[in-house]
Amino acid sequence: MLHTANRGLQTWSLRLFVAVFFVALAIIGLWTASQFAKNWKINRSAKLLKDHRLEDAKDLLQSLRIAFPQDPEILLRLARVYRRLGEFERMSTILREAAKYHAPSRAIELESTLAKAQVGHLSEVGRRLTVLLVNPGDDGPDICEAYVNGYFLLHNVDFAFRIIEAWKADYPLDPQPYFFAGVFFEQLGLSAKSVPELKRALELAPHRNDIRVRLAKQLFDIQEVEQADAESRFVLRADPANPNAKVILAKCLNVAGKPEEAIRYLEQVTSASPESVDAFVTLGQIQLETQQYGPAVRSLERAVELKPFDSGLRYSLANALVASGQQEQAKPHFQTVSAAKLQLATINQLKDTVTKTPDSADLRYEIGWRLLKFDDPVQGEMWLRGALQIEPDHEKSRNALVEHYQLTGKPDLARLYSSNQ
C-alpha cells in the first residue's frame, strides 16, 4: 500500500515537473518572440529614420513605447524623431522620461544640443561641433544634418557647404548630404548645380521618392521636360497618389500641349490635398492660359489664402481678376504687390549694407521682419535667427519670432524663442 502511494506520488511529481517545464518553455518562447519582435521593430525604425520617413518611424516607435514604456533606447530614438520633425516640446518630454529610466546622459545631451543647432541657436552650441565629430559613432550623419540646417538658417551658406563636403567624405554612401546640397542649391536659385547633386543622391538611394520628386522638379526648371516627365511617372508607378509628382507631371503635360490632361491631374491633387499651394498655383496658371478666367480666379484665390505673403501669387490673382472683368476686386491685390515691391527694394538695400557690417543684429532684424510680412517667412526666420546668433538677447528679433510662430500655429517654436527661455 505504501509502495503504491509512493509510486503515485512520483507519478504526480513527474507530471507536475513536466507541466512546469512546458509552462517555462512557453514563457521563454513568448519572451523570446517578444524580444525578437522588439528588436525587429527597433531595427526597422532605424531604417525608416535613415530614409527620412519620419512619420512612419514615429508611429512604429510609439507602438514600441506602449509595449516597452521604460526602455531608454526606444525613448531616445523617439526623441530623435520628434527633434527631426521640429516638435521640440515633445522631444523634451521624452528626454525627461529617458533620463528617468537611466538613458545615457551623453545621448540625452546630444539630442538637446542638436535641437539647438537645428534651429540656428549656434551661439550656444556652435563650438561643440568639432568635439562632437571627434568620435561620433552612428550619430555622425545626424550631427552633420542638424548643424548644416542651423548654419543654412543663419544664412552662413559657406560654412554649411563645408560641413556638407566633410559629411560626403566621411559617409560616402549616405545620400543625405547630396540631397541637402541639391535642396540648398535649389533655394539659392542654382538649379543647374542642384540637379547633379540630386542625381548622385538618387544613385545612392533609388528607392527614395522624395529625392526623385525633387529631381523631377529641378529638371523641369532647367527645361529638361522629358526627363522630368519620366521621373514623375516613375514615382507615380510606385506611389499613384503622390501629389508633388502629379503637379510636376501636369506641368510637363501642359508644356507638351496637353492642358486638359494637366488640369485633370491637378484637380485630383486639389481635391485630395487641399493644402497644396503648388497644385492650386499651377492649376490657376493653366486655366488662365486657356482663358478659363472664373476657375483661374478661384484656384489662385485659394493659393493666396494658403500663402498670403507671396506677392507673386497676388499679382497672378490680380491679373486673373482683371481678365475676368473684376477690376475693382483686383485693386487691393495690386496695392499689396506695390507695397511689397517697396519693402523688397528696402530689403535689397539693407542686404547690401549688412555685407559691410555683418555683425549688426539690428540690420538683420530689419531684413527679417520685412521678409516675414512681405516676401518669404522662411527667409525671414533665417535672418531673425541670425540676429540672435550675433546678439542672443536681441529682444526685437526674439519677439518677432515668437509672434510669428504663435500666428502660424507652432507653439513649440514659440516657447523655444520665448524671452523666458
Do 147 and 116 meet the contact criterion of CB atoms below 8 Å apart? no
Question: What was the pLDDT predicted at 2?
Answer: 47
Q: Report the candidate in 329, 343, 261, 243 with the shortest Cα–Cα distance to residue 294.
A: 329
Angle 49-175-36 (CA atoms, 0-180°, nearest 5)?
A: 35
The Cα 332–Cα 189 span in angstroms is: 30
What are the pLDDT tens digits along the chain (421 aa)? Answer: 545 555 555 666 656 555 555 555 555 555 455 566 778 888 888 888 888 888 999 999 999 999 898 999 999 999 999 989 888 778 888 999 999 999 999 999 999 999 888 877 777 788 888 889 888 888 999 999 999 988 887 778 889 999 999 999 999 999 999 999 999 999 888 989 999 999 999 999 999 999 999 999 999 999 999 999 999 999 999 999 999 999 999 999 999 999 999 999 999 999 999 999 999 999 999 999 999 999 999 999 999 999 888 888 999 999 999 999 999 999 999 898 888 888 888 988 887 787 677 678 898 899 999 998 888 888 888 788 878 877 888 999 999 999 998 888 888 788 878 854 4
Q: Cell numbers 524671452 label which residue?
A: 419
The Cα 32–Cα 227 span in angstroms is: 50
Q: Report the candidate in 87, 89, 77 with the shortest Cα–Cα distance to residue 50.
A: 77
Residues 6+ apart with CB under 8 A from 155: 382, 383, 386
Runs of H (alpha helix) within 222-358: 225-238, 243-255, 259-272, 277-289, 293-306, 311-323, 327-356
In the chain, % of residues over pLDDT 90:
54
- The model's pTM: 0.78
Per DSSP, the residues of 266-277 read HHHHHHH-TT-H
pLDDT single digits (tens) 138-151: 899 999 999 998 88
pLDDT single digits (tens) 294-326: 999 999 999 999 988 888 899 999 999 999 999
Q: Cell numbers 529617458 label which residue?
A: 98
CATH number of 336-421: 1.25.40.10
